[in-house]
Chains A and B, each alone.
Chain A
Amino acid sequence: MINIFLTPLQELTQFLYWWVIFVPRRLFGWVYDSILAMDEVLVLGETFRLWIAIEPLFGDYGWQGRIIGFLFRFFRVLISLGIYFGILIVGLFCTVVWLVWPVLAILLILQIW
């Protein structure tokens, strides 16, 4: 008899856990993995370090190499940050959309919204 009440309650709790915690955590995990994968190519940390140290580009240790290196790396750092920020925003957007998704669905079905 108790099962008639407990089992649906358990199922509801599990659904809410999945909807509110599990999937958003997975989404943030994908965001994190995406940023790491991009960093494999953009190597932001290393580029930033070399930019601060005014290291030259491609081993050209003349003053031209250092100036060009500084400028190139500056833009590269900016672009990298922009890309990472973009990925983060996309992730946040997806998470928000996900959280409101079932609510939106019900509102659409009932034509309240």
Chain B
Amino acid sequence: MVKPLQNTGFSFRWPATGWLIWLTGSYLGLKLITLGLVLITLGTAGLNYLTTGDWQTSWHTPLVGWTMLTVVIWLYWNYRIKGKKPTSDTRIDTDVLKYFSFHGRHIFWRALNLATQNHATYLGSHHLLAALHSNLGYRLTLARLELEEVDVVNAVANDGDIFYDVLTSALALGVAEHSRISWEDLLRGIIKHSPGLSQLLAKDKISVAEALSVVEWSKRNWYYRPAAVRSGLMYELLSPKRNINKAWSARPTPVLDRFSQNLTELARIGTLASARVRQQEADEAVRILSRGEQNSAILIGEPGVGKTSVVGDIALKILDNQIPSLKDYKLVALNVGAMLGAQVSFEKLFSQATREAAGAGNVILFIGNIGQLTKAKTSEGFDLSGILLSALEESGLQMIATASPKDYKKYVEDKEELKRFFTAVHIDELDEARALLVLEDKSRSIEGRHGVLVTLSAIKAAITNSVKFIHDSRLPDKAVDLLDEAGVEAARQGAKRVQASHVEAVMSSRTNVPVGALTASEKDKLKNLAAAIQEKFIGQDEAVTGVVDALKRARLGVAKGNRPIGTFLFLGPTGVGKTELAKRLAENYFGNEADMIRLDMSEYQTRESAYRIFGAPAVSGDVALGGGVLTEAVRKTPFAVVLLDEVEKAHPDILNVFLQVLDEGRMTDNLGNTIDFTNTIIIATSNAQARFIQDAVRSQMAYDVMRDKLIEMLIAESFPPEFINRFDGVLVFKPLTPAELAEVAKIKIKGLVEHIKREKNITLHVTDDAVAKLAELGYDPAFGARPLERVIRERIETNLANQILANDNLDEVTITSKDLSDE
């Protein structure tokens, strides 16, 4: 006899170690004996019959009696070990094991074995977890949560005695689900009550509720088998030939059968999944369909929100006879494409199909995107909406339709005669919590197609990233697409699991925005960014530091995420490098100088010019054209520098347009799309108060004092205070000194030398005294470095052009200060 553990009350008639082996072995043995006896009996009786020809004596043997008895014993044993389903009266006592499934009892006894082997005095949750080791569902759950088994067992080892809490939870789950307690109930009990496991999950930002849903998800996926919808028998079942209703009362519908798909049949063979998260909308649609009059429903929602899943759910409910008034009905999806491709006139087919659907008496017709249908006219000039209307009016057709809000307003709601037949059901975009459930269901097909396992972090990343970066479609569709692509990416890399990094890689390649953790190359780039910019950008160290620091804060996640990476106002005289810094930033961090979106604000001096920024609104009756210059540019390149040049020249109302962008990183265009600016750096430049800056520099005023005075002056004269306040940094660009201009000249000459070598294969040498001369000629405190470019063009490039004309075989040119003089 083994002493019971303190917290279980169980004792054993045999040594605990042997109990499980004996039980499993003897059950298996009994099965084999029963099977063997049955086969031997059949064989013996058959042989006797063949020998004697008398079936009565063949069967009338003691062997048959023993076989019959063994079968009874085996069936009884099955009944005893199967366990009972717990009820609300079930209490935890020494008989609680009979409410476990056989598999659950296996786990429990294995845990007891482990506890007694380790000389434990109580049964801990870590013993239960260790006993779950061989369970596929448990391992699947850990894989989806990306947890290692040893970490999980260690985390719960210090929990203390939570056995009764776990058992109480497991029992409550069994009662609630009316099932015997099994592995998932024990695991869910541990997740709920283990503080150690909660802490481990919290490290990976997984809540207890999410972990519990993953257990449920793993349990569902375990039993997943894709429906086989292929040609042959299944295809024959799908094709509308057998569309007679059970009571033989509905009229035949030959044309409709040919140009439609029976959704109720699809539901029957299992290709339509229940829209678990859309039950409210499905119930609302069912209530409408069950009415006596005005019993057609129209589902209104943006593309991708799941309108068709609601239709599928209705088909399932009809199939399961959950709608008494629609018993023996069928939901049929009209195949408009097939009709258009038929030899017969589309108008005739459409008219016939709708009449048949109306006259059959048991058909609900589904037409998707009804807006497109009602606006179309046939080649003969017939209005399809008119045909539909007459079917609804005269024949009592019952329909479900789907439409986007725009199409509904334009093609149904504004047509009173059509609108009165439909009752609208609004299908809104799913929130992230419900989208997670949809993705868990969709993950089954993704896993099957790509041979990978989808993790919880991948699903969460797909939802978060699709919400953040994809604005032209809706949840759950956009997250499903992203997850599917991540599955392809993971399979391509040979990975067994789809993780958040695969989703982020796909998102990065789509939007060119760096998503996810910093790579080693990105870390180096950020570390050396200031130096890289200063290779080609001279002076203005405070401005360079300010901008680079903002980038570092944003990329490392230190800054809040719901505004642009950085917003800066560059102030200074003309030609000091304000625009040049923006270009260098675009080149060094964003990868390409062309990834700079530049708006010359002097073109926006009227109020109406705001429409060029976010798009003109639709004139009544027309469709609005695509968004504005800025919104379209940011939509296509969300990761870029946005440069608002000479911002002081813009109309004050235009500045108000940017308030929301600077504060919250978003702007709504004329089509109602929200454009995300949170991956842009916004730089506004201004020459306002340039004279003050020059005087301040000359009088050697401290930088901070100069900047503060400048801001006061700008608020008083040029910009509203709320506009200035929204910038992360107001950076003053000082006039260039002659020494700095000389450095600028060197950089420009270097660029010219590389250009000439590349284009003309000519080596250009410019002596140091020539560079100094250029700097002297190109220096003008009022115009900054701009004259230098003109001087280089006139003195060097012209000189070079003349030399190339004079000498065809020119391969080397040297420019000295003498070549630059006016004589």
Contacts and interface: CB of A to CB of B under 8 A. Distances in A.
Nearest to A108: B65
Contact of A43 (B60, B68, B79, B328): B328
A18 interface: yes
B324 interface: no
A88 interface: no
A47 B80 CA distance: 44
Given A18-B76, A22-B79, A59 B69 contact: no
B323 to A, nearest CB: 15
Contact of A15 (B64, B76, B247): B76
Given A105-B65, A109-B66, A18 B79 contact: yes
B252 A46 contact: no
A19 B72 CA distance: 9
Nearest to B62: A109
B196 interface: no
Contacts of B786: none
Contact of A108 (B64, B76, B250): B64
Interface string B289-332: 00000000000000000000000000000000000000110000
Contacts of A69: 248
B251 interface: yes
Interface string A7-31: 0000000110011001100000000
A101 interface: yes
B247 A43 contact: yes
B1 to A, nearest CB: 14
A105 B72 contact: yes
Contacts of B65: 104-110
Interface in A19-65: 19, 22-23, 40-43, 46-47, 50, 55, 57-59
A69 B69 CA distance: 53
A108 B63 CA distance: 8
A105 B76 CA distance: 15
A15 to B, nearest CB: 6
Nearest to B69: A105
A58 B251 contact: yes
A50 B69 contact: no
A33 B79 CA distance: 21
B250 A59 contact: yes
Given A18-B79, A59-B361, A109-B69, A50 B249 contact: yes
Contacts of B247: 43, 46-47, 50
Contacts of A72: 248
A101 B72 contact: yes
Contacts of A57: 248-249
A7 B249 CA distance: 62
Contacts of A105: 65-66, 68-69, 72
Nearest to A61: B251
A43 B328 CA distance: 10
Nearest to B252: A58
B249 to A, nearest CB: 6
A59 B75 CA distance: 52
B359 interface: yes
Contact of B69 (A40, A42, A106, A111): A106
A102 interface: yes
Contacts of B249: 50, 55, 57-59
B246 interface: yes
A105 B70 CA distance: 9
Interface string B66-94: 10110010011001100000000000000
B83 to A, nearest CB: 14
A69 B249 CA distance: 9
A1 to B, nearest CB: 16
B6 interface: no
Give chain A's interface residue range (CB within 8 Å of chain B): 20 to 34
Given A22-B79, A41-B246, A59-B359, A46 B328 contact: yes
B246 A46 contact: yes
Contacts of A15: 76
- The DSSP consensus for interface residues of chain A is helix
B69 A43 contact: no
A108 B68 contact: yes
B61 interface: yes
A58 B72 contact: no
A30 to B, nearest CB: 14
Contacts of B62: 108-111
Contacts of B359: 59
Interface in B230-276: 244, 246-252
Contacts of B76: 15, 18-19
B255 to A, nearest CB: 15
B316 to A, nearest CB: 15
Contacts of A104: 65, 68
Contact of A102 (B69, B79, B246, B327): B69
A58 B248 contact: yes
Contacts of B80: 14
A12 to B, nearest CB: 12
Nearest to A102: B72
A58 B65 CA distance: 56
A37 B760 CA distance: 87
A46 B248 CA distance: 10
Contacts of A58: 244, 248-252
A108 B248 contact: no
A67 B253 CA distance: 22
Q: Which of A41, A42, A69, A105 has the most CB of B within 10 A?
A: A105
B352 to A, nearest CB: 16
A23 to B, nearest CB: 8
Nearest to A105: B68
B65 to A, nearest CB: 3
Contacts of B244: 58
A105 B359 CA distance: 62
Contacts of A23: 75
B306 to A, nearest CB: 30
A102 B79 CA distance: 16
A90 to B, nearest CB: 19
A32 to B, nearest CB: 16
Contacts of A46: 246-247, 327-328
Contacts of B246: 40-43, 46
B60 A108 contact: yes
Interface in B15-45: none
Contacts of B251: 58-59
Contacts of B69: 102, 105-106, 109
Contacts of B250: 58-59
Interface in A62-92: 69, 72-73, 76
B397 to A, nearest CB: 15
A109 B61 CA distance: 7
A49 B249 CA distance: 11
11 contacts: A23-B75, A43-B328, A46-B247, A50-B247, A58-B249, A58-B251, A102-B68, A102-B69, A104-B65, A108-B65, A109-B65
Interface of A: 14-15, 18-19, 22-23, 40-43, 46-47, 50, 55, 57-59, 69, 72-73, 76, 101-102, 104-111
- Shortest Cβ-Cβ A-B pairs, 9 listed: A108-B65, A59-B251, A105-B68, A109-B65, A105-B69, A46-B247, A43-B246, A105-B65, A109-B62
Given A50-B247, A59-B250, A59-B360, 11 more contacts: A15-B76, A18-B79, A19-B72, A19-B76, A40-B246, A43-B246, A55-B249, A58-B250, A102-B68, A105-B65, A109-B69
